[in-house]
Chain A
Amino acid sequence: MSNTLPSSVSGFTPIPVAYSSSCTHILYATAHKNKKKLTRKNKSSTLPDERTLFLVNVPPDATEREITQFFNPAGLVERVVFEGQGFDENTRVESENESDSEEIEEESESEGGSDDENHPRKKRKVTKESKPAAPEVKPIPFPTLRTYHKTGGTAHVIFLEPSSIARALSPLSKPRPWPSDSEAPSGLSHYKALYASLRPPLDVVKDHADSYMESYEYEQAKKKQKSKHKKGEAIVDEDGFTLVTRGGAYGKTVGGGVGIASKKFQNEARRGGSGKRSRKNKKEPQEKEDFYAFQVHEKKRKELIGIKERWEQDKANIAKMKASRKYKPY
């Protein structure tokens, strides 16, 4: 194999990475562009256009630290945002859905760019919802363990200086060795560490759970206060309209308002043909089917044709199976 890498592949610069003398991994890099998405709110602040490098085919076991070190020669790295950052198994589905709904262009460049922007944004949203800023929650300490990403995945590297991008994209004369982070174990030691970290001491679990519940209750109480309304009380707005809400956990509306039928009830009603309609159906006079002689004839005729059709179908089936020599028992 000739050792010359092409200088560009579909607009991406291949960066050879040496893991060992015999093995070269290829990173594909390009400058990150926000293009279309600029119109949307708060985008540029997340991934600054001018100093973000977009990477494809990140090694599955790469850590933020390793990437930072690897690009050190090009400049200081502020942070690394991995694809999806969270639940690996969902990224694919999501990206597919996105390309469906948002109609991303087929061009790989823009696809890559737009695709990646979404993850951090979403991630952020999710975390905001899940953890109401309650300083009291005591986290369960988690050691620095590698997170194995899917192979061929992407990442954004945000440099401190915009000038680093050009340096990072300049072709390498020979593969640059990968800086392995010795603090994050791999292989068997990784699994042992992971096993241990998932079984924290009981007092840590207790502290975490208790503090979480405290903060949760605090948030709930705050919400309740905010809504000013008490359980079961009708909420009447300035115009005199009463707010109607669905029943809460145990038939009572949590945040106030007048309760209506539970969802279950509604679903059932719909399944069996919702209330009104079913009553209507019953009353509707049924068309008499066997009233006129022609109806009877027609019915019989149809039946007979049906019989014949089935018969012919059976015959065709058997003939087909016969052709495949199925009826040679031995």
Chain B
Amino acid sequence: MTAIHKRKRVKVEVAPSESHKPEKRPRKTKGNMQDGSNVHDEIRSETRIDITNVQDDDGLDIQSQESGEEDEWIGFGDEESTVREPKPEAALDSQHKSNRPPTALELRDIKDASNLYRSSSFKLQIDALLPNVRPKYHRVAPLERFLHGLHACLTSAPPTSPISPLVASKKLRKQGIHVPYPLPEPTEDAKWTVAFTKPVDIVLAGSWANKLSVKSRDAEKYMVDVALEMPSKVPAYEDAHTLLRVWANQRGYGRGSRMCVRGFEGSGQLWAAVLDLLVHGEDPSHNALNGTVNKRKPVGTGLSSYQLFRAALDFLARSDLPGLRAFVKNTNGHRFPAGDYDTFDAVLVDSQSPFNHLAGIPLGSLSLLQRDAKATLEALNESALSEDPFNEVFLKEHRDIQTRFDVVMRIDLNSAKLRNKSVHTVLDQGSSYTMLLSTVDSTLRTALGNRAKSVTILHPTSQPWALSDAPPLGSPVIFIGLILDTEQAFRLVDHGPAEDSPDPEAAKAFQEFWGDKAELRRFKDGKITESVVWNVKTSDERAHIPFFICAHILQRHCGIPEGQVQHWQRSFDNLLRLPESITSLYQAEGVEMGFKAALAAFDSLVKTIKGLDDKLPLAVLNVSPASDALRYTSAFSPIALPDSVLPSIPYTAQYLQPMEIVIEFEKSARWPDELRAIQKLKLAFFEYLASTLMTAVSGLKANVVLGNPATTPDIQDSCSLEIKTPQGWVFNARIWHDREAKLLDTAIDDKPHIPAHIKKKLSEEINLKGRQIATEAKEVYLRRFVHAPRHHRAIAALSHRFSAFSGTVRLVKRWLSAHWLLDTHISGEAVELLCAVAFVGRGKKVANPTQLVDVPGTKERAFFKVVDFLKDWEWEGGLFVPLYGDDQVNDTETALAAPVAIKGAAWTIATEFDPAGRMWTSHGPDPIAARRVTAIAKATWQCSLGVEGAGYNVATLFTHPQADYDILIDLEPSVLPRYSQNLHGNIDLREGRSFANAQRSEEIAPLGFDPARMLFDDLTRTYQDTIKVFYDCLGGDRFGIIWEPSVTDPKPFRVMNRFSSTPVRKNDEQGKDKEKMVTLNTESILSEMERLGAGLIKTITQQK
């Protein structure tokens, strides 16, 4: 630590002597990019003293800027080395020959970088970042000229005699200048006067004069602050300040054209003040109300910029910001006593001025600042070293309200009218706009209480206005972002004071605050209290309670009608619902619906099966669920349709998704020792189970389902038992027999003890095909019986732990299906793993994941987090999801293995139990589909930014662009049993209206019959090397097809060409060459597809 300090001191000494010949030095060490930094530093120390000198050194400044001021530390090291060995080649040499150990100096620098910064690469990245966010001081000449002019103008202006404010403003109006008097505007009989006298002195202050300016977001202009001088005695101060402001700008605490956090618009010096507090410590003599609190001591002066930055975050994260009372230590004492600041909620006063830097910042904004600081610290502390948090902390923008807040509301203030408006408070706040926003802030925070962790008002920063205009009123549209405490946010009742409360005013205040929502109620425990009860009908509505509260309060206290408070939760809910008419039809029939009901049905089935114990040849050990409908993550909530109601339900709404379950029998020696025989014995078991179940439960139906012999090898687990309960729930049971695994292993490799190279010699007649089949069967076995139930348990646990998780998965599934990728290219399990990232993070965590600060509280926010993740995910590198938690796995250092290339598999999503990460992604997405996901995520993200503007529509995020497909196949909706799930389909058809008379009661869709999917599978398999097929597995009625790029050009004829071809006709003279050439027979292929889908396909359109 002392090293930097010392070196810095040396540098200061060196500076004056060197600065006389600044022209020479850069040339002397030409090619050594680190060199210029020192020159720059020297110049800076001079300009700090005298502004006028800047111009003189301008040319020099250019050089120092161009050469970059990064790697300051190296510059110094090199400087010394240049003193000793002036040959620049020496430096070059040492760079090239890295087999030579580093010199002591180099070593010191390296050690410093890794000790004083998070890691050496972190330090290098900081150095790379800094020059990009600072103004180019060599371009300041015009500004300097202006400032000199301004100075001259102000000092030379003649003083005026005192006159009435109105007269003065009239006078100025003539010259085209508008005087922005604070409200209320002065009147004729104002007792005060205004005058101008020559200023004693004018000091250019603030971050510009200190060279502390940091670029703002959105190319906003640099602000030349005019308030205080910030002496920077601590070496790393400047860099830390820059880092802090970059951090803040990325999070909307500053100026910008996008949504910025209210209150930070003009708070450029807050950050300097925070650092000031850290560097100088708190004033011990300036005790605020709570004198007992330990005063902050100054941090050491030897800190690196990174350490100082961290300390600042630590201060923001840990101190009680909304109640802060901090005065920076000042040897001369503060101008005002602490008591004078009592009217402020939060106080931070620096050593130079009496200004409270936290004035005007709503408490809601401060609590958000605190959360952000915590989250960043967490990222810096927790992420494994392999995952560089630099990007997350400094480079990534965090202003996007859709991923930042659980609930986002857009509020039109035009018709706002405050309920309690007193002139005094308006005076206090400066304007009625500020007054309005501060009322919004305080009432919402009171109303939400502990439901919300932070309530934030956001709006774009105000634009500079012309001298001649009145200042703008402030953005007429604001956004409110809530971050919820999911434990509290959705409770139905808020309790107020008890009926027999000793303070009668309390009840009145409660009633005044809540209006007609407040009511006196008697509760179960006998207490009678004032209370507010939110009536909700569905669990979806329950998630809207925070919004209901906000809307109610805004209407009551700010006069904002409910229609002017826009939110989008309902649009998202609707995506996960069948059309209203269908659900009401289901409801009218009184069928069972929902995840809880499905789980109850599962439990009762398990009970029934276990109850048959004495009738079955083997005892049932376990029945495990392995279906997303039984873990709260299927896109649609599950439904039961008993046979009796099917006739009154349209064909297009009769689809029932069977729920997969796995039955495990006790171990027995009676199982045959041969794979095919095992499958046959399973058949016998199923048959027996089916007939026993049907006799035990009346109304229950059970069918043995065989695997399709054309696509399933006979040694693979293929048969299952389809069970439909009397209530209409459908299950698909399979039998897990663990001996299969060993037999398959033997089939894959019956001589594991013989080394591979010897085996190669022996293998004259190895059954390659048999081995291939066995390998695939083993994969199916592992996935179906080992991983699926385990995955199910982990995901179910997440659904219970995070209330927003279930909705998130459902939304993301709907989104991917709407973009024709779910199930067919991306397995539901892979989606669940991706969604888990938004909740448990990625990579190995050291700490308990429950402590994560930044867990989304609503499905909407988490959905956008997933989209955000997908748009930037470099999937070539794979992903590790700590799904099971560290304690579950005996730590075998499951480092992310380098992804093994599998044909047709692009993603690797590893967990503790699947280090290879291919369990759920080996059958897709392939690179084409993976690139599609990235593109769609980008487009969706871009679209979601529209939330900040007007006319934002959620549906567009779920609309799939179809222009890029070569072929579109339209299916006949009326023959699709799950068409009612279609997102955009013809509403009449979805409701079965237009053909209601024809289809109803005539045809019943077979259980789980999904002809669209069957056709999709056949097309995909048949044309595996010719086309790629896409469609929405949730009720989609259109296939999109693209040709494989490899088949579109004419090729020489080969037996193994693997596509339907036609000879190239002899049109040209080069007939000889053409003889062997064949080209894709598009016509014939389309006609084949038509035959494959006869009765299903309505039209085939060739787009290209």
Contacts and interface: CB of A to CB of B under 8 A. Distances in A.
B1066 interface: yes
B246 A87 contact: no
A26 B1093 CA distance: 21
Interface in A279-330: 301, 304-305, 307-312, 314-315, 317-318, 321-322, 326-330
A41 to B, nearest CB: 12
Interface stretch (A43-51, A73-81, A164-172, A185-193): A185-193
Given A151-B1060, A307-B102, A130 B752 contact: no
A57 interface: yes
A94 B1091 contact: no
B98 interface: yes
Nearest to A95: B1056
A224 interface: no
A28 interface: yes
Interface in B1002-1019: 1006, 1009, 1011, 1014-1015, 1018
Contacts of B1023: 150-151
B110 A26 contact: no
Contacts, number: 277
Contact of A187 (B680, B712, B1091): B1091
Contacts of B395: 326-327, 329
A163 interface: no
Contacts of A328: 132
Given A28-B1053, A329-B246, A213 B684 contact: yes
Given A249-B673, A315-B124, A12 B1053 contact: yes
B215, B249, B1021 — most chain A CB neighbours (10 Å): B1021
B83 interface: no
Interface in B960-1013: 975, 1006, 1009, 1011
Interface stretch (B45-53, B198-206, B1082-1090): B1082-1090
Nearest to B133: A329
B713 interface: yes
B1095 A187 contact: yes
B683 A195 contact: no
Contacts of B133: 329
Interface in A238-289: 248-250, 254, 263, 266-267, 270
A195 B1009 contact: yes
Contacts of A94: 768-769, 772
B768 A126 contact: no
B766 to A, nearest CB: 9
Contacts of B1078: 9
Contact of A209 (B100, B687, B709): B687
Contacts of B686: 205
Nearest to B1085: A151
B121 A209 contact: no
B1094 A130 contact: no
A188 B1005 CA distance: 13
Interface string B1070-1086: 00001110100101111
Given A209-B680, A212-B677, A148 B1055 contact: no
A154 B1055 CA distance: 8
Query: What is the size category of the interface that chain B forms with chain A?
Result: 35 or more
B773 interface: yes
Given A191-B1014, A304-B101, A111 B1022 contact: no
A59 B132 contact: no
Contact of B1091 (A6, A61, A248, A304): A61
Contacts of A117: none
Contact of B1061 (A26, A192, A301): A26
A266 B753 CA distance: 8
A176 interface: no
B705 interface: yes
Interface size class of A (residues with CB under 8 A): 35 or more
A108 to B, nearest CB: 5
A292 B660 CA distance: 66
B1092 A147 contact: no
A140 B718 CA distance: 15
A311 B110 contact: yes
A147 to B, nearest CB: 5
Given A309-B98, A315-B124, A327-B125, A152 B1021 contact: no
Contact of A9 (B681, B722, B1021, B1075): B1075
Contacts of B187: none
Nearest to A115: B1055
B430 interface: no
Interface string B694-705: 000000000111
Contacts of B1011: 188, 191-192
Interface string A189-219: 1011011101110100110111011001000
Interface in B100-144: 100-102, 106-107, 110, 113, 120-121, 124-125, 128-129, 132-133
Nearest to B1023: A151
A308 B106 contact: yes
B217 interface: yes
A149 interface: yes
Contacts of A22: 1083, 1087
A4 interface: yes
Contact of B100 (A9, A14, A130, A305): A305
Interface string B64-77: 00000000000000
Contacts of B1057: 57, 152
Contacts of B113: 311
B107 A198 contact: no
Contacts of B1009: 191-192, 195
B721 to A, nearest CB: 10
B684 A200 contact: no
Contacts of B93: none
Given A6-B1063, A9-B1075, A112-B1055, A254 B673 contact: yes
Nearest to A19: B1087
Nearest to A319: B128
B99 A305 contact: yes
Given A308-B106, A311-B110, A328-B132, A150 B1022 contact: yes
B674 interface: yes
B250 interface: yes
B1056 A111 contact: yes
Contacts of A59: 1060, 1088
Contact of B753 (A111, A142, A263): A263
Interface string A1-23: 11111101110101000011011
A69 interface: no
Contacts of B1066: 2, 4, 6
A309 B101 CA distance: 9
Contacts of B1018: 148
A92 B722 CA distance: 33
Interface of A: 1-6, 8-10, 12, 14, 19-20, 22-26, 28, 56-57, 59-61, 86-90, 92-95, 97-98, 101, 108, 111-112, 115, 122, 126, 130, 140, 142, 147-152, 154, 186-189, 191-192, 194-196, 198-200, 202, 205-206, 208-210, 212-213, 216, 220, 248-250, 254, 263, 266-267, 270, 301, 304-305, 307-312, 314-315, 317-318, 321-322, 326-330
Interface of B: 95, 98-102, 106-107, 110, 113, 120-121, 124-125, 128-129, 132-133, 215, 217-218, 246, 249-250, 394-395, 397, 669, 672-674, 676-677, 680-681, 683-684, 686-687, 690-691, 703-714, 722, 739, 752-753, 767-770, 772-773, 975, 1006, 1009, 1011, 1014-1015, 1018, 1021-1026, 1052-1063, 1065-1067, 1074-1076, 1078, 1081, 1083-1088, 1091-1097
29 contacts: A2-B1065, A3-B1065, A6-B1075, A10-B1075, A19-B1091, A24-B1081, A24-B1084, A108-B1055, A111-B1055, A130-B676, A151-B1025, A151-B1058, A151-B1060, A187-B1095, A199-B705, A202-B704, A205-B704, A212-B677, A216-B680, A249-B673, A249-B739, A266-B753, A304-B101, A304-B107, A307-B107, A308-B101, A326-B395, A329-B246, A329-B395
